[in-house]
């Protein structure tokens, strides 16, 4: 059985390379506008290996806001928008190892720039979230 920490680690280590490249491009563009960017990603696997998924902990753009026995809530607050990602692990059948994993996201716009920023992001978001979910499931299926 997997813990919320396992799910959190898989979230950060199961995406395909094209998602990493999109984040690199995003960071280069938004830095000019004074928005938050990820720290140096060269030691990404080392960061994931040392990640405990505890409230207040950071990895890339993401901060862990909350962790319970079934859920991790990640996200960030910035001047243009705030976002949250919920990784919710649900037991579906009592007494079995089968569980459901749900990824939910929410965005709160702080100003018009947040709305403008999210217009192109929304398109990629619809591709990235299902891709990451599939990656997490594959990674967990291999026993992380």
DSSP β-ladder status, 58-59 and 71-77: unpaired
10-24, 52-66, 87-101: which has the highest mean pLDDT? 52-66
φ and ψ at 121, to 5 degrees? -65, -40
The total number of structural domains that make up the chain: 1
Question: Is residue 101 within 8 Å of residue 133, measured between CB atoms?
Answer: yes
Summarize the confidence of residues 107-133 as an average pLDDT. 92
What pLDDT was estimated at residue 37? 74
Write out the residue range of the structural domain in which residue 58 sits: 4-141
Radius of gyration of the chain (CA): 15
Gap between the Cα atoms of 7 and 136, Å rounded = 7
Residue 144 reports pLDDT greater than 70: no
pTM: 0.81
């Amino acid at each position: 059985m997997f813990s919320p920490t396992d799910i959190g680690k898989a979230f950060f280590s199961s995406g395909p390379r094209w998602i990493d490249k999109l984040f690199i491009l995003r960071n280069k563009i938004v830095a000019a506008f004074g928005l938050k960017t990820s720290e140096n990603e060269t030691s990404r696997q080392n960061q994931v290996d040392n990640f405990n998924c505890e409230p207040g902990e950071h990895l890339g753009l993401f901060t862990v806001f909350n962790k319970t026995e079934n859920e991790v809530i990640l996200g960030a607050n910035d001047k243009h928008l705030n976002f949250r990602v919920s990784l919710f692990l649900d037991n579906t059948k009592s007494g079995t190892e089968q569980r459901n994993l749900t990824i939910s996201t929410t965005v709160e716009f702080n100003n018009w720039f947040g709305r403008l920023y999210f217009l192109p992001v929304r398109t990629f978001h619809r591709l990235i979230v299902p891709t990451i979910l599939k990656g997490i499931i594959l990674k967990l299926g291999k026993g992380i």
